[in-house]
Amino acid sequence: MEQKRKTCGAVIVAAGSASRMGGIDKVMASLGGEPMIVRTVRAFQNSPQIDEIVIVTRQDLIQPIMDYCGGFDKVQTVTVGGESRQESVEIGLSVLTADMEMVAVHDGARPLVTQEVIARTVRAAASSGAAAPAIPVKDTIKQVEGETIIVTPDRNCLRAGQTPQVFQVQLLKKALQKAKEDQAVVTDDCAAVERLGVAVRLVEGQERNLKVTTPMDLKIAELWLEEEL
């Protein structure tokens, strides 16, 4: 007998200042002829693993995002985020429908995430409690102090984390609350969960699932789209 699928909501975080985009508001930047955020949200709208979507953004983007994404029937709420990514995720979790068992937290600036990555991450988290996609690191990484190399980690042991990062809802809420109490700064949601001693399962990510942070990233994303045509 096939096990019943766990309900899963998506929290799409699009509340950043886009300070490295040279004045371009990245989530509203045109990608393939439409705002980047539309492509990001559509990926989760089209995913059979996702039951509802919450978008967390800046106050000034609430109405534009509602105008562009309000037609997606899985979008339940577009709400204002906090001062940090961590606070924005907490806000997103607070407005998810109460019966959501799992949550997929995704960067609004990763518009090229595929159905395959979403599906395998959600499925892995459904069985393990926490999962995230990652890809091998190409460059040799240096750990430094000031301008001095301290150590060169083995590249074979390194992975570049991506999103969506998927968790049991209550696990992520507990992890973020603990990080807040400890005044710990976590750079992603996996880091918060890891602080509880919970193992996060890695699944295969994709190079095309890049985070658009600079104008060059936007050009690379356009090239990925052109390859699909």
Higher-scoring residue by pLDDT: 65, 1 = 65
Cα 23 from Cα 89, distance rounded (Å): 25
| pLDDT score of 74 more than 60 | yes
Confidence of residue 198 (pLDDT cuts 50, 70, 90): very high
**C-alpha atoms less than 13 angstroms from C-alpha of 191 in its C-beta half-sphere:** 11
Cα 133 from Cα 206, distance rounded (Å): 8
Helix axes 36-45, 62-69, angle to 10 degrees: 50
> Does residue 120 contact residue 113 with C-beta atoms inside 8 Å?
no
Confidence of residue 169 (pLDDT cuts 50, 70, 90): very high
The residue type found at 98 is A
Closest CA to 218 of 57, 39, 47: 39
Range with lowest mean pLDDT among 6-20, 42-56, 73-87, 165-179: 6-20
pLDDT at residue 1, as a whole number: 43
On average, the pLDDT of the chain sits at: 93
| pLDDT score of 58 more than 60 | yes
Confidence of residue 17 (pLDDT cuts 50, 70, 90): low
Cα 204 from Cα 125, distance rounded (Å): 13
| pLDDT score of 89 more than 50 | yes
The 10s digit of each residue's pLDDT in 124-133 is 999 999 999 9
pLDDT at residue 187, as a whole number: 87
- % of the chain exceeding 70 in pLDDT: 95
pLDDT at residue 21, as a whole number: 60
Confidence of residue 30 (pLDDT cuts 50, 70, 90): very high
- % of the chain exceeding 90 in pLDDT: 88
Instruction: Give the residue carrying structure tokens 């991506």.
Output: 162
pLDDT at residue 148, as a whole number: 96
DSSP structure class, residue 212: -
Cα 75 from Cα 51, distance rounded (Å): 9
The 10s digit of each residue's pLDDT in 204-225 is 999 999 999 999 999 999 999 9
Confidence of residue 140 (pLDDT cuts 50, 70, 90): very high
